[in-house]
């Protein structure tokens, strides 16, 4: 595979992956605020990410520019909520592991 094809593929993933990262960060921030003000996370970041992804997806249909980073592969049809769930799960686990080492 040529370098230009690799770079093109990576740049096509950036918008969708970036959106998933934003959903993850917002859900982690909401969980942090829950813990800070309520002393307990009633909704964990993973659930918040699913709900946030569903809310965004219900008001906004991602155009083809966003889809490569949202979908796992071209043959599967993923919604924004499913992509947010999958990516948030990975990123939340990473954050939890980093938080446990403090």
Q: Quick one: average pLDDT of 10-38?
A: 90
Alpha-carbon gap, residue 18 to 24, rounded angstroms: 10
* Tokens (6 digits) for 47: 């659930």
What value does the mean pLDDT take over residues 3-10? 88
The rounded distance, in Å, linking the Cα atoms of 44 and 34 is: 9
Nearest to 78 by CA among 16, 3, 10, 22: 16
How many residues in the chain? Answer: 102
**Which residue would you say has higher pLDDT here, 1 or 57?**
57
Quick one: tokens of 26? 């917002």
């Amino acid at each position: 595979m040529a370098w230009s094809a690799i770079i093109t593929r990576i740049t096509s993933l950036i918008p969708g992956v970036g959106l998933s990262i934003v959903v993850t960060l917002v859900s982690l921030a909401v969980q942090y605020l829950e813990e800070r003000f309520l002393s307990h996370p009633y909704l964990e970041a993973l659930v918040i990410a699913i709900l946030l992804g569903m809310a965004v997806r219900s008001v906004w249909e991602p155009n083809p520019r966003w889809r490569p980073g949202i979908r796992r592969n071209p043959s599967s049809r993923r919604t924004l909520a499913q992509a947010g769930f999958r990516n948030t799960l990975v990123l939340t686990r990473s954050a939890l592991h980093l938080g446990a080492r403090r």
